[in-house]
Structure formats: structure tokens, C-alpha cells
Amino acid sequence: MKAAFLSIGDEIVGGLTVDTNSGFIAGELRDVGVEPVAGFSVRDDEDEIIRAFRQALEQAELVVSTGGLGPTVDDLTTACVAKLAGREMVLHQPSLAAMEERFRVRGIEMPANNRKQALFPRGAEVIPNPNGTAPGFICPVLTDGGTRHVACLPGVPRETRHMVAATLVPWVAARQPGRRFLSRTFSTVGLAESRIDELLAGAIRPDEARVAFRASFPRMYVRLTVDGAPGERLEARMDELEARVRERLGDAVYAVGDEGLEETVGRLLRERGLTLAVAESCTGGRIGDRITDVPGSSAYFLLGTATYSNDAKAAVLGVSPQTLARHGAVSTETAEEMAAGVRRIAGADVGLSTTGIAGPGGGTEEKPVGTVCIALVWEGGAWSRRYDLGAREREWIKATTAQLALDRLRRWLLNPD
Amino acid sequence: MKAAFLSIGDEIVGGLTVDTNSGFIAGELRDVGVEPVAGFSVRDDEDEIIRAFRQALEQAELVVSTGGLGPTVDDLTTACVAKLAGREMVLHQPSLAAMEERFRVRGIEMPANNRKQALFPRGAEVIPNPNGTAPGFICPVLTDGGTRHVACLPGVPRETRHMVAATLVPWVAARQPGRRFLSRTFSTVGLAESRIDELLAGAIRPDEARVAFRASFPRMYVRLTVDGAPGERLEARMDELEARVRERLGDAVYAVGDEGLEETVGRLLRERGLTLAVAESCTGGRIGDRITDVPGSSAYFLLGTATYSNDAKAAVLGVSPQTLARHGAVSTETAEEMAAGVRRIAGADVGLSTTGIAGPGGGTEEKPVGTVCIALVWEGGAWSRRYDLGAREREWIKATTAQLALDRLRRWLLNPD
């Protein structure tokens, strides 16, 4: 099945909003065997919307639109599809009831124009929207190429993503009765996409699984998709592929599913009943910020410090002035004393630290921009290392240093020594 | 002039890369009087690319494409445009020379296939690319609607953005010889888009300036564009409009140009020769992270702490156990003691603090999720306030609290009392 995508709204075409829906939906549909072939974006104009739907339907059996389902006069998608399909608009009573209920629990009277959102082309299949007032729908359209389908979803990404997973993906899968699909995502750290590609090249043949990458710096996800006839044991095949992925990528795989290192680290700290304190310098608070993005992190995160000056490193963390004088603020020695200091002050089980030169200023010949030291200190042991990340942008150096530090903590939690 | 946008590449259509180029270019061209009318995305396929260019040229006098200018076999844009325009491809000697030079200074031999990037449709105007090997070009195409133009740019956002500003925008402006354009951006804080719209509605008439909004949570930008005949004093008109914007929006405008509050605050601290220490709780390091995103922030940022536990608030910052017991960790009293404590420890001029309930757990009837306290302490004075942000998502509460705290600091720096 081929699919095309249509993003509807003045704000999209005018560049005020970036369309992230089309790409997201394309990725999800690819996992159930759909081939994305084209994308369109149009303004809130009836003629232009209908023309774009026609152009898209020439190229694809399924056209997925986002946007234009709101209650106001410039929300035209449903009316355009009804016209295109030659179907009248009819009231969908369950959608109206759900909408009225939504307003009632909030103690607000439903504005009259919201009623419009419960109208759909006759015969369309309604897609419920538990997160907003605008349901979506799937409507058949007779074309020169036979009966094709238009699926219309709201423009709000959170609402649409839910509806894609809950309804559109199963709908597509059900229309391919001879095939089933299964995907699994692996979150990795420390390997570039090209390197992962190389490592997996010999391990997974193209006919065994589709391998896709998604980079969201500093995160890197690998997604495998297998398919087969109903009755085939896809889970078992996937488990076998996962074993091969893990053999090739080793502990660069930190989670199944797409999660951040801060979540993995949090889970490991909880499981082991350990507490953490973090002493940051060049990362300036990035690590603490990421760790506290995880709900419930107060159970294991006791203290973070960002000591940018030598004085603060000495006064707050107890780093010795001799160490600072002899080795400098950016040194494994200082990093270790920072980690030990924050651990002691917080009474934590583990102390983690970063110190480095994020640039653009502050570099020297011996310690150029991108020189970074990370240390980890625990009961009876310590680890530290200097990294030379190169004279990259400040933001890249901060993000990479935070990622390296969290990964070091993860590896230690998996294998304390 | 109407413009349409075409994003070329399998990775765009397949959802592996989000097209941010089209929207960016649309926004820039709007500022010189262009009306964006539609967007397309297509795969690396000759027929599909040519079809999309044809569809786009039906709707617009200018079609701007991005992507497909690389050296490999799946980079087809230039060949497609040559075919579409009925022009042969010719070698552009200056582009070849620039490319060879690029490789020479890096000590790498130029691969033979890069030569392809110096071929353009005869008569096309070449757009130099100082940041990459792929130059762009503007090519006239004869259509049923007369001679229209196709502008082709590379897909790498950093390269394309430069080329748009340096070449495409001036090219478009020059084709409207009777008009000149001037834009100015204002960074604002604390007002929703709808509120800004209301406030400016009476102040700036549509015929005086175009007003556009760009939200990049938690940032909100307002951009004014004026135009007039050559010789008109646009700067003076813009200054007069700026005065009206400032009168209406007051100190919600924190900068001319698009900059973050952390940059504004950094500049003010520098100008006043003041140093800062930050005690975070619910923001977990977000404020320190943002402040240290600014190069040179070590000149004024002395210390950040993230004290998530009551013990850490007492032990590290010296918050009194009585205050914690009587008022709780989320209280203006605790916030003030945190700010005073971090200021004292760091020997800083100003101490800033946050404490709150970011959720989803931890709320009570008296202090539900979204209850946040911020305090600022300086020599001889203190300020604190409780905010009720509502039971929003954890990330929203963290980001909003950090923004409120930085804004409070900014307002104090503008008007210390």
C-alpha cells in the first residue's frame, strides 16, 4: 500500500509551524508495510485543499491529512473530503455526546460551533480522540484508480500520535490480511549511525528485518521490523534478532524501547537502592536537569552542584587548592575530588562529576576546547577519564559530556567494580 | 509574488528527517512580500520530482526546492530542472574551482563524482555555498503562465539558511523594484500570543506593518515588517512602531532580535558587574544549564545547586529545619532561605531560587502539582512569590518555572530595589 501525506493550515505553509506529523505517521505506517510516496502542505482554502487531496490520491491508495478539524470557520478538512467523496455530512451522535461530556466535566458550556466537529461524511469510520475535541475519520473516495481512502487527523501532535497508534495503524494492518508486523526499538549510546550500520550489516540480512535509524542528538535509536504470515511466531524471530543485535552492539544498547539514559540510570539506581549526587562544571546543570526530568527522581537524586569557578569548587565541594593549582580545574584529579566532595556532602552512594572546556573561549594548547574530564566515586572506589572531544560547538560539547557521564554511571551500575 | 516549496529526498518522505527548510524559507520570503501558497515533498525519483515541480509551478511564480544537490546517483534535482526547463547542463568553472580549492585546503583529493555539483542548467544563476560543496541555482522555466523561476538549494539547513539570506532574499527583493522591506524581531516573555495580538491590535494598523508571531516554548517572538518605496525612511518608521510596541507590551519585551532570557540576563549582569548564584529544586539544574549555554558565563555565574531533598536544602544551603517543618519545602520562606544560602556560600551579589511540585506525584490539596515558589535575594533586600501554574506536564512546569525565575532576575536587574 502506498501512502501520501497532506498537512493543512496557513501556519504550516507560512512557516510558523513545522509539520512533524507527516514524518511521524510515515514512520509508523512503514512499520506495517506501507510505502510513503509524497507529502503536500496547503493553506486553509477549500479549492487548494481539494486539489491537493486529488493530487495525492493519484499517487497513493491512502492519503493521511492532519489539521483543519477544529471548530472555526477556517477548519475546512471535513467539508472538503465530503465534497471530494460526493457524500453528505451527517451528525455522529457518539462523538457529539463525548464532546458534550468533555465540556460538562470541565463545567464549561459547549460553544455552538463545536457541534461541527461531530459532523462526518456519510459512511466514514470515526476515529475517537480521547485527548481533544476533534475526532478524526477514514473515508472511502472513488477515484480513477478505484476506491481509495482518506484518513483525516487533527493537527495537534499529541492527539494525532495517539490516534495513529490506536486506530490508523491497526486499520492499515487489518487491510493486509496475509501479513503481520512486529517492531522493536533499541536505544543506543556511543556509536554513530554509520558504525551501527556496519556492525549490523553482516548480522541481519535485508530479508530478515527492516533496519531503521532515528537520531535525536545525543540519542540514537535502531528499530527492527519483521513481518510474516499470520500464525508465524514473529516474537520468537524478533527475540532471535535481538540476541544478534546485542551480540554485535554489546552494551551500547542501553534500553529496549526509546528512552533516555536518564530513565535507564534512574531505574538502575532504584533497583539497586542507591542514591546519587552530581558535581557539574562544564555541563552547568544539564545532568541534574535531565535526571530530574524523570518523575520520582527525588527518590535517588540527592544533590546537584554547578561549580563554575575554582573558588566554588574549593569552597563548596572541598576540592583542594593544591590540586587546582597543580593540575588545573580541568583534570581527572579535580574531577575525582569534585565527585568525592559532592558525594560526601550529600551523603550519597555515588558521586558523578564533569569538568571541561566547552568554549568557544578558554582553550589552551595543552587543554584545547573540547577537553573534558569525567569522574565517578563510590564507596571504596573511583574512576576518572579525560576525553578530547575536539573544538566543536559549545552546545555539542555540553550535550556530549552529559551523555558520556550518564553512560559511565549506567555502565558502573550494571557492573560495579 | 507567490512561492511554493519542494523538499526532495527519501528521508523526508519516509519520516526519518523533518523538513525545517521549507518553513524557514517561507518565513524569510514573507518578509520581502512573497505569499507562500503550498508545499510538496517527494522521493529521490526523477518522474516524481518533475511532476512535483510542475504542480508547484502551476500555483506559484517561484518554486524553492531543497535537497538532492549532492554528488551521488540519487541526487537528481539539477538534472530534473534542466529537463523541466529544456536546457542542457553546462559546467560552471568558478564553482568547480571553489570546490577543488575546498578539497585542496583539507588535503583530500576531490572524488570524481563531486564534479557533478558544478553542472547547472544553461542560463541558471548560481548561488554560492560557502559552507558546503553544493552550490544552488535559480533557473527560469517557461510555463503556460509565462516565465517562472525555480530556486534550488541544498538540504543541509545551515548551508541553506545562509544562502537564503545572502542570495535568495535579495534576488526576490530586487524583482520588486518599487518596494523595500525592513523587519525587526522582539523577544517577549510572560504574554500569550493571543494577548500580544490583542494589545497590538489597536496600536499597529495592518497597513502600517505586518505582525507575525513565532512561539518556541517558552520563548515568544513578535516580528514586524514594513515596506515602502525606495527612498522612504523605513528605519525611522520602524523606530516609531517599536516605540508603540514597547508602550503596549512594556517590559514584556526583553530584547530586540531573537535571543534567550539567559543571554539578556547575562548581558545585564555583565553591564552591572554583578555575580549570580542559583539554588534550584524543582527545576533540577535547568536554570544553571541555560545560564551556562551562554559563552563567557563563567564571568558572572559562580554557583548552582540542585537540592532535591530537605536534607540537602538544610545541609548544603543552610535552610533552617524549623522553616522546612513549619512552611514546607515548597514555600516562599524556604525559597528565600535557599536564595540567601546559595548567595552566601558562593559570595555572589544575587541569589535566585526555585522550589515547587513538578508532578505528576507529590501534590497535596493545599499545594497541588504546579505550585511553585521563586525567590531573589540581594544585598539588603529580598523578593519571593508563590505561583499556581496548574496541574500541567512535568516538563512544562520545569520550563515555565525556569523562565519565570530568569524573568524575575531580569526585571530586578533593570530596576534593582
Residue-wise pLDDT tens digits, B251-290: 999 999 989 999 999 999 999 999 999 999 999 999 999 9
According to the model, what pLDDT value does residue A239 have? 97
**Among residues B13, B69, B186, B223, which one has the least CA distance to residue A15?**
B223
The alpha-carbon gap from B185 to the nearest alpha carbon of chain A, in Å, equals: 14
Mean pLDDT computed over B96-107: 87
Dist CA A405 CA A200 (whole Å): 26
Residues in chain B: 417
Q: Does residue B141 have a pLDDT over 80? A: yes
CB atoms within 10 A of CB A49: 25
Give A13's contacts in chain B (Cβ within 8 Å): 26, 36-39
Q: Pull the grid cell for residue B167.
A: 542570495
CB B3 within 8 A of CB B26: yes
DSSP, res B38: E
DSSP, res A280: E
According to the model, what pLDDT value does residue A151 have? 98
Sequence-ordered list of residues with C-beta below 8 angstroms from that of A16, at least 6 positions apart, any chain: B23, B27, B212, B213, B214
Dist CA B235 CA B181 (whole Å): 10
The alpha-carbon gap from B287 to the nearest alpha carbon of chain A, in Å, equals: 7
Dist CA A387 CA A208 (whole Å): 38
Q: How many CB contacts within 8 angstroms connect chain A with chain B?
A: 245
Q: How far is CA B263 from CA A366, B163, B190, B269, B343, in A?
A: 30, 27, 17, 10, 21
Q: Residue A274 — φ and ψ, nearest 5°?
A: -110, 155
Q: Does residue B119 have a pLDDT over 90? A: yes
Q: Residue A325 — φ and ψ, nearest 5°?
A: -70, -40
Give B360's contacts in chain A (Cβ within 8 Å): 295
Give A18's contacts in chain B (Cβ within 8 Å): 18-20, 23
Q: Residue B127 — φ and ψ, nearest 5°?
A: -105, 110
Sequence-ordered list of residues with C-beta below 8 angstroms from that of B218, at least 6 positions apart, any chain: B189, B399, B400, B402, B403
Dist CA A170 CA A32 (whole Å): 9
Give A15's contacts in chain B (Cβ within 8 Å): 22-27, 30, 36
The alpha-carbon gap from A117 to the nearest alpha carbon of chain B, in Å, equals: 23
Dist CA A160 CA A152 (whole Å): 10
CB atoms within 10 A of CB A278: 34
Q: Pull the grid cell for residue B89.
A: 547542463
A306 vs B288: CB contact, 8 Å cut-off? yes
Q: Pull the grid cell for residue B78.
A: 539539477
Dist CA B16 CA B13 (whole Å): 8
Dist CA A60 CA A148 (whole Å): 8
Dist CA B123 CA B92 (whole Å): 10
Q: Does residue B82 have a pLDDT over 80? A: yes
Residue of B nearest to A8 (CA): B38
Mean pLDDT computed over B300-311: 95
Mutate to test the interface with B, among A57, A303, A394 (most CBs of B within 10 A): A303
Q: Pull the grid cell for residue B341.
A: 544560602
Dist CA B369 CA A94 (whole Å): 33
Q: Pull the grid cell for residue A345.
A: 556532602
Would strands A89-91 and A180-188 be described as parallel, antiparallel, or unpaired?
A: unpaired
pLDDT digits (tens, 9 = 90+) for B161-176: 999 999 999 999 899 8
The alpha-carbon gap from A11 to the nearest alpha carbon of chain B, in Å, equals: 9
Would strands B276-280 and B350-356 be described as parallel, antiparallel, or unpaired?
A: parallel
Q: Does residue B178 have a pLDDT over 90? A: no
A27 vs B7: CB contact, 8 Å cut-off? no
A293 vs B52: CB contact, 8 Å cut-off? no
pLDDT digits (tens, 9 = 90+) for B197-212: 888 888 999 889 988 8
B23 vs A16: CB contact, 8 Å cut-off? yes
Give B283's contacts in chain A (Cβ within 8 Å): 289, 292
Tell me, what amino acid is at B15?
G
The complex's ipTM? 0.84
B41 vs A43: CB contact, 8 Å cut-off? no
Dist CA A37 CA A33 (whole Å): 13
Nearest Cβ partner for A292 among B39, B43, B308: B308
Q: Which residue has better confidence, B226 or B16?
A: B226
According to the model, what pLDDT value does residue B301 have? 97
Dist CA B409 CA B414 (whole Å): 9
Residue of A nearest to B54 (CA): A55
Give B19's contacts in chain A (Cβ within 8 Å): 18-19, 23
According to the model, what pLDDT value does residue B106 have? 79
Mutate to test the interface with B, among A292, A349, A357 (most CBs of B within 10 A): A292
B13 vs A24: CB contact, 8 Å cut-off? no
CB atoms within 10 A of CB B145: 11
A293 vs B394: CB contact, 8 Å cut-off? yes
A305 vs B308: CB contact, 8 Å cut-off? no
Q: Is B234 helix (H, G, I), strand (E, B) or coil?
A: helix
According to the model, what pLDDT value does residue A167 have? 95
Residue of A nearest to B342 (CA): A316
Indicate left, alpha or beta for B251 from its phi (over 0: left) and psi (-120 to 50: alpha): alpha
Q: How far is CA A64 from CA A32, A140, A384, A391, B23, in A?
A: 15, 12, 52, 44, 20
CB atoms within 10 A of CB B273: 9
According to the model, what pLDDT value does residue B229 have? 86
Mean pLDDT across chain B = 93
B13-32 core/surface letters (b: 16 or more CB in 10 A; e: else): bbbbbbbbbbbbbbbbbbbb
Give A37's contacts in chain B (Cβ within 8 Å): 13, 43, 48
**Among residues A182, A262, A261, A288, which one has the least CA distance to residue A225?**
A182
B303 vs A308: CB contact, 8 Å cut-off? yes
Place of cell 559511565: A408
Q: Is A28 helix (H, G, I), strand (E, B) or coil?
A: helix
Q: Which residue has better confidence, A339 or B177?
A: A339
Going along chain A from its start, the domains and CATH numbers come out as: 2-174 (3.40.980.10), 180-256 (3.30.70.2860), 262-414 (3.90.950.20)
**pLDDT tier for residue B135 given thresholds of 50, 70 and 90:** very high
Give A32's contacts in chain B (Cβ within 8 Å): none
Share of chain A above pLDDT 90, in %: 76
According to the model, what pLDDT value does residue B129 have? 93
Give A359's contacts in chain B (Cβ within 8 Å): 295
Give A30's contacts in chain B (Cβ within 8 Å): 14-15
Give B290's contacts in chain A (Cβ within 8 Å): 285
pLDDT digits (tens, 9 = 90+) for B338-356: 999 999 999 999 999 999 9
The alpha-carbon gap from B101 to the nearest alpha carbon of chain A, in Å, equals: 23
Residues in chain A: 417
Q: Kindly give the residue spans of alpha helices, DSSP state H, lying in B14-72.
A: 21-30, 46-59
Q: Does residue B215 have a pLDDT over 80? A: no
Dist CA B399 CA B385 (whole Å): 17
Dist CA A186 CA A242 (whole Å): 9
Dist CA B221 CA B205 (whole Å): 19
Sequence-ordered list of residues with C-beta below 8 angstroms from that of A205, at least 6 positions apart, any chain: none
Nearest Cβ partner for B36 among A14, A359, A398: A14
According to the model, what pLDDT value does residue A350 have? 98
What single string gives the DSSP state of each residue in A347-404?
T-SEEEEEEE--SSS---SSS-TTEEEEEEEETTEEEEEEEE--S--HHHHHHHHHHH
B13 vs A26: CB contact, 8 Å cut-off? yes
The residues of chain A scoring below 70 in pLDDT are none
Report how far Cα B215 is from the mean position of its chain's Cα atoms: 9
**pLDDT tier for residue B297 given thresholds of 50, 70 and 90:** very high
B23 vs A7: CB contact, 8 Å cut-off? no
Instruction: Count how many Cα atoms sit within 13 Å of the Cα of residue B415 in the half-sphere of its side chain.
Output: 5
B26 vs A36: CB contact, 8 Å cut-off? no
Nearest Cβ partner for B286 among A55, A289, A347: A289
Nearest Cβ partner for B30 among A14, A41, A280: A14
Q: What is the pTM of this model?
A: 0.85
Would strands B301-307 and B276-280 be described as parallel, antiparallel, or unpaired?
A: parallel
Give A360's contacts in chain B (Cβ within 8 Å): 295
Place of cell 548551508: B159
CB A151 within 8 A of CB A120: no
**Among residues A320, A261, A312, A348, which one has the least CA distance to residue B305?**
A312
Would strands A301-307 and A276-280 be described as parallel, antiparallel, or unpaired?
A: parallel
Euclidean distance between the first and the last CA atom of chain A, given in angstroms as a whole number: 53
Give B5's contacts in chain A (Cβ within 8 Å): 41
